[in-house]
Structure 1
Amino acid sequence: MIDPAQLLALVLAALAASTLAAVAGFGGAAILLPVLVGIFGVRDAIPILTVIQLVGNASRAAFNRRQLDLPVVGWFAVGAVPFALLGGIVFAAAPAGFLTRLVGAFLLLSVAWRHTRRGRQSHLPLHGFVAVGGVFSFISALAGTVGPMMAPFFLAYGLVKGAFIGTEALASAVMHVTKLVAYGGASLLTVENVAVGAALGPLMIAGSWAGKRIVDRLPERLFVAIIEAVLVITGLAFLIA
């Protein structure tokens, strides 16, 4: 049973997470996951988080539907579906500590690479999203969140602002649906988990709406700078964890 203090923390975290994710395209799970783990334990937290992320990503995709790059989502899904299923199956045996530090190093290196001459000139080909979808869907099924890791690849393809937010969100929604199927097959997804995630859905939609209004008013260069700042902060936090 959730006490009033836990409920308040959960509500505030969900609203803050969805607004941040709507502005930066990622980062919401980093706010929500510690709260969920503290209340429900890690075994239930990641399936609950996946339900919440599905609602949040679907709403961000809907709010940015005019700027979606559907070919990117299609190629992403080719890799995401099989590897999200595989990751969900092996979820219980994930070596989380080493993986967390590896992710932190990757985030910092990805930002540094973007500021080198070759990094500024790099461009991810469309079919490259098959690998992006496969690798990060597998990791997401194990660790719960990979938004900061995927962001550099969507940026490298040339997506910014609404196109970046909406396309990344729709691709992530495909990934989360597949993860839920895998969790359900492994008896990790309960009715209670779905109920908690669904109950927070309206807050995720409200945060997505607020974040969309902020993004529409941001200059493109400031938008990219915000994303890179979140990447650096998240990377350092993962290395220290």
Structure 2
Amino acid sequence: MCPTVVLLVQHLPSGIARQSASALELSTGLIPTLLTASALAFALAWLSSVGGMGGGVLMLLAFTALFGLQVAVPTLTLTQLVSNGGRAWYNRRDVRWRVIKWHALGAIPFALAGGLLLPYVPGEPLKRALGAFLIAVALWRRLRPTPGAPADKTFAAVGAGAGLGSALFGAAGPLAAPFFLAKGLTGAAYVGTEAAASLIIHLTKTIAYGAGSLFSLHVLQLGVALTPAIVAGAWLGKRTVMRMNSQIFVLVVEAGMLVAATLLLAGV
């Protein structure tokens, strides 16, 4: 610690001095972690903007390694609010709002229920089931590359599954991905619609986690600190998507599904 700071702390009353020294040491020790987390958040916000999904699962892995699971899940929710909000805003002209309406109808109650049940439900079996589902869907898409487009009302059930899964283990964007692709959404339409759907889920989770007292001051500080990197990553992702053709975009999304499935099966 800087000698001048040490001298000032030594002249404080003993209790205040100990608290001040601890706070200074914590702040100093947190800087490298925040820099690492910001770099990862930027890269994964870009990845989410390019592929429309997958970044949340990887971000949960990174945040768990840096902060621990109890801090990682609510922190991820705050960062996903910013990330999805940015992607929805940058692609707002291409969002399919009728799909969003039906998706929200299922997502809101199930995300709220999942957020309240989080402390009591073991997430590992659900993670592996979702991983197996994603691999099965990826194989099905290869065997049947032109499936029929799902009806708008189908997205109420999709939203229910995505909302519940996201609330229980942090991120479930890959669950809805095959349905958005089957609807014929690509490029900005896919990214914007998926982001708007996820934004509603994360807003609902924020209410549920807040009711469960999962948002500490430390979590809120991390969310604020990581916001600039996430906004920058979402903006760069929008610029990247504008240069991609639809076939490459679909391949990127499917690759993201397989990466997410592998991580979920591994219990990440």
Q: Per the shorter chain, which TM-score range?
A: over 0.9
- C-alpha distance in 2 between matches for 1:199 and 1:8: 10
Pair 1:225-2:266 in alignment: no
1:140-219 → structure 2 map (5 Å cutoff): 140-219=166-245
Q: Structure 1 residue 31: deviation in Å?
A: 2.5
Unaligned runs of 5+ in 2: 1-25
Tell me the equivalent position of 1:109. Answer: 136
Shift of 1:92: 1.0
* Alpha-carbon contact 2:161-2:175 (below 8 Å) kept: no
SS at match of 1:138: helix
Letter in 1 for 2:131: G
One-letter amino acid of the structure 1 residue matched with residue 227 of structure 2: G
Q: Distance in 1 between matches of 2:101 and 2:130?
A: 25
Deviates further, 172-181 or 185-194: 185-194
1:96 aligns with 2:123: yes
- Opposite residue 166 of structure 1, the aligned amino acid is G
2:97 aligned residue: 70
Matches of 1:121 and 1:202, distance apart in 2: 39
Q: Please, which moves more after superposition, 190-199 or 132-141? A: 190-199
Q: 5+ residue gaps in structure 1?
A: none
Rg larger for: 2
Aligned partners of 2:47 and 2:54 also within 8 Å = yes
Is contact 1:9–1:35 with CA below 8 Å preserved after alignment?
A: no
TM-superposed CA distance for 1:171, in Å, is 0.8
Q: Which residue type is aligned with residue 44 of structure 2?
A: A
CA distance in 2, matches of 1:234, 1:79: 23
How far 1:68 sits from its partner (Å)? 0.8
Deviation for aligned residue 1:100: 1.7
- Aligned pairs, number: 240
- Work out the CA distance in 1 between the residues paired with 2:247 and 2:44: 23
Question: Contact 2:91–2:192 at 8 Å: present in 1 too?
Answer: yes
Amino acid at match of 1:73: I
Q: Distance in 2 between matches of 1:233 and 1:77?
A: 26
Q: CA deviation at 1:199?
A: 2.0
Two-structure CA RMSD over aligned residues (Å): 1.4
SS at match of 1:189: coil
The structural deviation recorded for 1:122 is 2.3
Q: Structure 1, residues 13-32: CA drift from partner, whole Å, max 9, x if none?
A: 11111000000001112222
**Contact 1:184/1:190, CA 8 A, preserved across alignment:** no
**What is the alpha-carbon distance in structure 1 between the residues aligned to residue 35 and residue 221 of structure 2?**
17
- Give the partner amino acid of 1:98: P
**Partner Cα separation in structure 2 for residue 175 and residue 8 of structure 1:** 28
Q: Within the alignment, does 1:30 sit opposite 2:54 as a pair? A: no
Distance 2:74 2:200 in 1: 15
Question: Under a length normalisation based on structure 2, what TM-score does the superposition of the two structures give?
Answer: 0.86
Q: Deviations over 1:124-146 (max 9, x none)?
A: 11011111111110111010001
Residues 74 and 209, structure 2, Cα contact 8 Å, conserved in 1: yes
CA 1:96–1:24: 2 relative to 1, 3 Å: same
**Residue type of the partner of 2:116?**
I
Shift in Å at residue 94 of structure 1?
2.5
- What TM-score results when the alignment is normalised by the length of structure 1? 0.95
Paired residue for 1:81? Answer: 108
**Alpha-carbon distance in structure 1 between the residues aligned to 2:95 and 2:213:** 34
18-27 or 2-11, larger mean C-alpha shift: 2-11
Instruction: Tell me the equivalent position of 2:162.
Output: 136
